[in-house]
């Protein structure tokens, strides 16, 4: 089985920073990509940023404030969030596309999410 576990969420004041971490564990042969999504109350889940061996991508709305990075040796991905705003309040989810064996096609996996609350 594969698990994605996020950490680092919490309550932060507007203008502050938080760093989210996600570790993928279990039966993992290779990871194609990892990403961060978020879902605010009453809204659809939206992609924030992704990372592969070839580079990173960001949603237009997040460029400049959020930075995604990864540690492939540890199967980890991070999201540095700066200049936080109350509208950043959401549950943040880690997402990975990976293979559990060499024979398997890459499959998507989600973490359980971590709450980020930004107060004004």
Q: How far is CA 66 from CA 8, 86, 93, 108, in A?
A: 14, 15, 14, 23
The string of DSSP codes covering 71-86 is EGGGTEEEEEE-S--G
pLDDT value of residue 74: 92
Taking only the tens place, the pLDDT of each residue in 53-92 is 999 999 987 778 999 999 988 999 999 999 999 999 999 9
DSSP 3-state assignment of 112?
A: coil
* Mean pLDDT in residue range 92-105: 96
Taking only the tens place, the pLDDT of each residue in 11-64 is 999 999 999 999 999 999 999 999 999 999 999 999 999 999 999 999 987 778
Which residues pair with residue 39 across a beta bridge? 91
């Amino acid at each position: 089985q594969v698990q994605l576990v996020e950490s680092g969420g919490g309550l932060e004041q507007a203008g502050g920073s938080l760093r989210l971490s996600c570790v993928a564990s279990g039966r993992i042969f290779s990871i194609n990509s990892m990403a961060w999504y978020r879902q605010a109350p009453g809204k659809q889940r939206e992609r924030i940023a992704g990372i592969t061996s070839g580079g990173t991508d960001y949603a237009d709305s997040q460029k400049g404030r959020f930075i995604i990075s990864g540690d492939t040796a540890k199967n980890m991905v991070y999201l540095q969030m700066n200049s936080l705003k109350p509208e950043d309040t959401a549950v943040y989810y880690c997402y990975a596309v990976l293979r559990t064996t060499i024979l398997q096609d890459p499959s998507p996996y989600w973490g359980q999410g971590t709450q980020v609350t930004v107060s004004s």
